[in-house]
Amino acid sequence: MIRRLGYHWHLRRIMAAHNIWKTTKLIPLLRERGVNLSTAQVYRLVTDRPERLSLPVLAALCDILDCSPADLIEPYVEADRRKRTAGEAAVIEINSDFRPERARIIED
């Protein structure tokens, strides 16, 4: 069985805790730390869950928000969503007392 990991990205929540409500407020703070990102890049970083994140950006965010990477990224194990193959039978419990009711034909 393959163990799939996911993660929650808490940048927006931590920004709100530090009274940073606009993504544009983050741009000069990042530039002070040598990280030059466009307005669109910072917006995506805050609003979306990033697939790739460079260590200088992560370090700058941790310095700006006075937090650790563990505060920003919360890993979790995803539920198993794999499809059954033809060889795998579904387990169905059948009540042996269950019998279908006989149909009755009513003439007009």
Does 98 reside within a domain? Answer: no
Position 80 scores a pLDDT of 66
The CATH number of the domain where 56 resides is what? Answer: 1.10.260.40
Position 96 scores a pLDDT of: 63
Which residues span the domain enclosing 22? Answer: 5-77
Q: Is residue 30 assigned to a domain? A: yes
| More confident site: 92 or 24 | 24
Find all residues with CB under 8 Å of 45, minimum gap 6, and list them.
11, 23, 37, 53, 57
Helix (H, G, I), strand (E, B) or coil at 32: helix
pLDDT attached to residue 67: 95
Band the pLDDT of 103: cuts 50, 70, 90: confident
- Our count of domains for the chain comes to 1
pLDDT digits (tens, 9 = 90+) for 45-54: 999 999 999 9
Element (H, E) at 40: helix 39-47
Residue 34 falls in which region: left (phi positive, over 0), alpha (psi -120 to 50) or beta: left
